[in-house]
Amino acid sequence: MATFTKVALSGDANGEGILLGDTTTTVHATTSRTTFDEIWLYATNNDISAVNLTIEYGSTTANLIIQQSIPSKTGLTIVVPGLILGASKTVSAFGGSDEKIVIFGYVNRIA
């Protein structure tokens, strides 16, 4: 039987949020090939205008990235709704402007 454990994102083990720059920042790294991480990510933008967010979900290949515009001052926007990732992969992200987007989230680790 599978076990589920809620863990913090590895990019900020305190759960405070990860301030993104305009270059790639590691948000979360999975731990092994024998577990899967169900990843939930939320973004907020406190700037005066919308900012583009790019998420490299397990790969930097252009076809495997997630892009979304994060509206200005609207609270948390869900950007990864519980997608599964395993096999020692990494989720990275960057904003279209430096230090405008903050990522919050958690992981349900499935073993």
What's the CATH fold of domain 4-110? Jelly Rolls (2.60.120)
Q: What is the mean pLDDT of residues 87-110?
A: 95
Q: Which of 81, 82, 104 is closest to 93 using CA atoms?
A: 104
In the chain, % of residues over pLDDT 70: 100
Question: For residues 31 and 24, what is the distance between their CA atoms, to the nearest angstrom?
Answer: 20
Q: Structure pTM?
A: 0.93
pLDDT digits (tens, 9 = 90+) for 19-70: 999 999 999 999 888 899 999 999 999 999 999 999 999 987 777 899 999 9
Each domain of the chain, given as residue ranges in start order, spans 4-110
pLDDT reading at 80 higher than 80 = yes
C-alpha torsion angle, residues 76, 31, 111, 37 (rounded to 10): 20
